[in-house]
Structure 1
Amino acid sequence: MKKIILHFVPAILCLVSCLWGYGQKKPEKKHNIKVKVDYTLNKPGDTLTLYFKPHESIKFLQMAIVDQNGICSFDMEQEFEFGSISIEKYKAHKKNDHRMIANQLYWEKGDEIMLKVEDNQLLNDYESNALFTGPGSEKYNLQYAIRKELRKIYDEALTTETKKWTDTDSLQYLETKEYRLISVLNTKKEMITAVVYDVLKTDILMSRYEPIIENLTYLKLNNAKESAEKRKELLDSIHRLLLPVKQFPVVAEAMAASQKFQKFIGGLFYVTALLKNNKPILKESIVEVSNHFSGIQKESILISLLQQYGITSDQKEFPLLKNTVKTFPYNLLLEKFLQQTCRNLAGYTFLDTSGYKVDLKKYRGKYLLIDFWYIGCGGCLRYYQNTLSHIEEEFKDDPRFAVVSISADRDFNRWKKSIPLNRYTNERVINLNTGPLAYRHKFAEDIGIDIYPFVLLVDPNGNILEYNNITLRTTTELLRNTLNKYLN
């Protein structure tokens, strides 16, 4: 009876998640992201990918083929009025072709742009050799101008005789950078919408606090192991850090839309949860975020925070999330995020080590721990060496359980040669590869994989039980306890 109930849990969760947005406000119409890319190295038949992120936690993609004139055209229909776009070259040429030819540029409804990219023989510096034209193009060229100024500031800092100025924690350096970037932004203030101006200004203002926040988030697990006194000291410093951020001279809509704000502040609240509890409690985090931010800023942060937490099959905070995140477009973003956990994995196919296609439904009947990784990912390496390898050894004789190691490496032979090295996986587990699509594989898009390693626990019927949460992706003890919860 216990196993039957357990098998119903993901189905119930799936139903709740999929119906989450029922009755919520929906957008009146969809919007099209129209981009044409004229890239010197484009050849007819090459493939480019457009990534659209309406929030730093949500990503959609569209692939398009270069036509006979060397032009690649995108026309992505979606529900959001604002977000960021990136464009990546799918086929790398023999020369050192930088694959990401446009990266994280703010888009808004009504834009219809042409991106012309000239090859740079020396640097592959597309931010200096790209030109946008068409409706809305001013904001893209402005963003590139800001990036060029940032690079100039950085180069100057490297050549200065005063080494203190090169320190990213130097207040002089950070204040100078902020002033110069805002000066560039102000040159085109009248040519862009007020919201985009404030979003870009938020990004620039966040840069003063990035070094501190990045240090705290990078060391988040180590910080959680500090003494009670040290943890309180860190918590106090974080709360003091939030005060100037709350007072940014920008409209609330722009701050909420800034993906730097979403990423850094969402990550910061996850650190505070770790400092307060070795196993963070989402309900407490929701209350804490609500105590520091309000309105759509709060809602935007909570979606980032939910990505940090991941999803568990017995999540009790969904009603609280629903009542807290209720403003469009953040209610729709929450719905999209929860839908990513509402999947049965049957039908997703990968390549095995012999190059044959394998459907995940082949492994029905067992609990599957799926580890999604790629060669060169430091976090993937540490996760395998410190956590997953120990679990594999402990549970290797349990016929009800299996580890599925899925590599997102495009180079099939390199991936295959890496398996016996026991760095990211080993020969005893189920080893699969995404094939030539790499991390553009439909599985990665549907599940919402945007960070690595990405870990799922799947029940014997192929339904997701645990979605990349802290109990899966951190310590051996937490992962062991999670598995025993289902296997015992």
Structure 2
Amino acid sequence: MVFLKTNAMRRLINNRLHTWMLLSLVIITCQAMASESVREPITIELKFADSAFGNERFVLKYWHQLVGVSTSSFVVHDEVVGVRTDAGNFRFRVYPSSDQGYFSLGKEKDGYFEHLLYHYLVESGDSVLVVMNESNAFDEVYIQKQWSTYYDGFRNFKSYRPSFFGNGSAKYQCRYSTDSLSLRLSDGKEDKSRDESLAILAGYADKIAPHTYERLRADIVGKNLLEKYRMFSWDVLSLAKKKNGYATIKQIHEMGFTKNSQDSAWINVAVNSPFYLESMLVGLPYAMITDSMPTPERMLKQIDGGYSGLIKDRLLCLLLLTYRDRFESQATVYRQIQRVVRNEGLQKMLHSYSQKFLQGAPAFPFELEDADGKLIKLADLEGKLLLLDFWFTGCSGCSHFFMETLSTIEEEFRGDNRFEVISISIDQDRKRWLNSVDSKRYTSEEAINVYTNGDGSAHELIKFYNIESYPTIVIIDNKGRLYGIYHQGQVSNATIRAMLDPV
């Protein structure tokens, strides 16, 4: 009996010991996971030295994961509206999921996002005050780069020069200094811009961490390569029409770009820069060129077989975002890339993209008010091919798109009950919107004319599709699924014809 009691007690003690060990292991694991996932918040505060912009709406956009700058609107990100402090400043707070990310800061006006800071590197724990001092720094020299969104901040706030203070501010000041240098150099001076910008960066070596230094270096090299490729693309347009033109293009590319390529060890670090990664993808078709430019499908095969690890994962994701509407089957390519990509953060990014922007994703279930106050719902329009045209009063590009393209589409498909144009204004003022409808400069009486219910560009439909420029055209198929998102020059009568009567 004593023996039985002793064995029972031993079993009880062993069971409790195992339970305690398991609980301890769970607690330790949870603590480790928490320490890995929790990052210090980021605080950015914007101060204007004068009283300007006091009533404006400033917004900070933060990307936890960014593979390219030109495709950032197709990547899910956080948007934080500036909160006014007692001192009258705009304060933004972000809770990052990684040590490094990128943010843009700007002012929302008439549907546009007017950049002040464009895709700046930001790190966990940054607490930076941006002071905008009045300055006449924007002079005629700066007009050199009018074409580039990268330099919008200089034009949008041309009477001000920012200074940066606080924890993490050195990298911001470095970035602004290199941008100021590049802006003053004319097109064709990209190598000079790169070298002088890297010299500026070297002066900050003792003020920033080594991994931050390398990321900024990659941003600088990538940004200047993108500008160089932009200039090269004009030569490509003319050379492609000539005899042996593609061979010449490849030769020029090898002489002007690949000879300056970096070592593979550094590239493994540099691909975390959205600027450098995008320059790699932009250069890929020129490196692959034969008797024609390679198709996106060929580029996918090249990336899949020619790269590995994180470089491969990031390039594949950027390829999907960049060439989304040029694949023969976007859904097939998405599934193929999803199977290949191993990085968890990129997997999440792909999933978010598929829920909103992938061809075939359920369209946003909008409910918008027409001129008579009636709610127009997506659900009531199922069975029709829909062209949603987003515009606002005063947008010259919107007027041009309607006059030159949309009006001809309406004329060709007039009376076709399978097709409908939904003209969506982001005007906040209802009377202003109705006056513009009556002017027939932006829309016609044949369209279903609605507006974003007084919410302007802050409406949930605009935010869902991350619409930042106008006109933007969204096409929804007859089953209520997204077909594509386009800009001026990308939609024509043939686009609609092919969807209504596919071969």
Q: TM-score range by the shorter chain?
A: 0.7 to 0.9
| Alpha-carbon spacing, 1:412–1:370, altered in 2? closer, same or farther (3 Å) | same
Q: Does 1:326 align with 2:309?
A: no
Q: With the length of structure 2 as denominator, give the TM-score of the two structures.
A: 0.70
Who is 1:455 aligned against? Answer: 473
Q: Does 1:118 align with 2:159?
A: no
Deviates more, 1:125-134 or 1:198-207: 125-134
Who is 1:288 aligned against? Answer: 302
Deviation readout 1:395-438 (Å, 9 max, x if unpaired): 22121221223344567666655556666543322233446654
Matched position secondary structure for 1:315: helix
Who is 1:71 aligned against? Answer: 89
Q: Does 1:142 align with 2:174?
A: yes
Who is 1:157 aligned against? Answer: none
Who is 1:52 aligned against? Answer: 62
Cα distance in 2 between the residues matched to 1:412 and 1:219: 47
1:115 aligned partner, one-letter code:
V
Asked whether the 8 Å contact 1:44–1:66 carries over to 2, the reply is no
Of 37, 45, 59 in structure 2, the residue corresponding to residue 36 of structure 1 is 45
Matched position secondary structure for 1:142: helix
Q: 1:41: how far off? A: 3.5
Of 373, 382, 398 in structure 2, the residue corresponding to residue 364 of structure 1 is 382
Q: 1:375: how far off? A: 6.5
Identity across the alignment (%):
20
Cα distance in 2 between the residues matched to 1:453 and 1:277: 32
| Alpha-carbon spacing, 1:193–1:409, altered in 2? closer, same or farther (3 Å) | farther
Q: 1:462: how far off? A: 3.0
Deviation readout 1:9-42 (Å, 9 max, x if unpaired): xxxxxxxxxxxxxxxx999526543322233437
Asked whether the 8 Å contact 1:59–1:445 carries over to 2, the reply is no
> Whose relative contact order is higher, 1 or 2, with alpha carbons under 8 Å and at least 6 apart?
1
Deviation readout 1:447-475 (Å, 9 max, x if unpaired): 244565543332345332x12379x9345
Q: 1:368: how far off? A: 1.2
Cα distance in 2 between the residues matched to 1:376 and 1:263: 33
Cα distance in 2 between the residues matched to 1:367 and 1:429: 13
2:62 aligned partner, one-letter code:
F
Who is 1:3 aligned against? Answer: none
2:178 aligned partner, one-letter code:
I
Q: 1:371: how far off? A: 3.1
| Alpha-carbon spacing, 1:51–1:475, altered in 2? closer, same or farther (3 Å) | same
Matched position secondary structure for 1:74: strand
| Alpha-carbon spacing, 1:445–1:394, altered in 2? closer, same or farther (3 Å) | same
| Alpha-carbon spacing, 1:344–1:257, altered in 2? closer, same or farther (3 Å) | same
Who is 1:176 aligned against? Answer: 192
What pairs up with 1:143-162 in 2 under 5 angstroms? Answer: 143-151=175-183, 153-154=184-185
Cα distance in 1 between the residues matched to 2:451 and 2:239: 35
2:121 aligned partner, one-letter code:
Y
Of 402, 406, 419 in structure 1, the residue corresponding to residue 424 of structure 2 is 406
Q: How many residues align?
A: 437
Q: Does 1:259 align with 2:274?
A: yes
Who is 1:297 aligned against? Answer: 311
Structure 1, unaligned runs of 5 or more: 1-24, 93-97, 155-165
Who is 2:490 aligned against? Answer: 473
CA RMSD of aligned residues (A): 4.4
Cα distance in 2 between the residues matched to 1:100 and 1:290: 35
1:89 aligned partner, one-letter code:
K
Deviation readout 1:343-395 (Å, 9 max, x if unpaired): 54454344545687654444334221223355777876676566544332222
Of 207, 212, 221 in structure 2, the residue corresponding to residue 205 of structure 1 is 221
Q: 1:338: how far off? A: 2.0
Matched position secondary structure for 1:329: helix
Cα distance in 2 between the residues matched to 1:27 and 1:390: 59
Structure 2, unaligned runs of 5 or more: 1-32, 139-155
Matched position secondary structure for 2:58: strand
Q: Does 1:189 align with 2:205?
A: yes
Who is 2:4 aligned against? Answer: none
Q: Does 1:105 align with 2:112?
A: no
What pairs up with 1:219-258 in 2 under 5 angstroms? Answer: 226=241, 229-231=244-246, 233-234=248-249, 237-238=252-253, 243-244=258-259, 246-247=261-262, 251-252=266-267, 254-258=269-273
Matched position secondary structure for 2:386: strand
Cα distance in 1 between the residues matched to 2:274 and 2:394: 26
Matched position secondary structure for 2:120: strand
Who is 2:320 aligned against? Answer: 306
1:52 aligned partner, one-letter code:
Y
Deviation readout 1:67-99 (Å, 9 max, x if unpaired): 44313322233534433212223479xxxxx95
Asked whether the 8 Å contact 1:346–1:359 carries over to 2, the reply is no
1:146 aligned partner, one-letter code:
T
1:305 aligned partner, one-letter code:
L
Deviates more, 1:32-41 or 1:224-233: 224-233
Matched position secondary structure for 2:172: helix
Cα distance in 2 between the residues matched to 1:333 and 1:109: 20
Cα distance in 1 between the residues matched to 2:260 and 2:453: 43
Deviates more, 1:357-366 or 1:175-184: 357-366
Cα distance in 1 between the residues matched to 2:288 and 2:427: 34
Cα distance in 2 between the residues matched to 1:475 and 1:258: 35
| Alpha-carbon spacing, 1:473–1:115, altered in 2? closer, same or farther (3 Å) | same
What pairs up with 1:374-453 in 2 under 5 angstroms? Answer: 387-408=405-426, 417-419=435-437, 425-434=443-452, 438-450=456-468, 453=471
Deviates more, 1:114-123 or 1:193-202: 114-123
Cα distance in 1 between the residues matched to 2:385 and 2:288: 29
Q: 1:287: how far off? A: 1.3
Deviates more, 1:193-202 or 1:350-359: 350-359
Deviates more, 1:121-130 or 1:186-195: 121-130
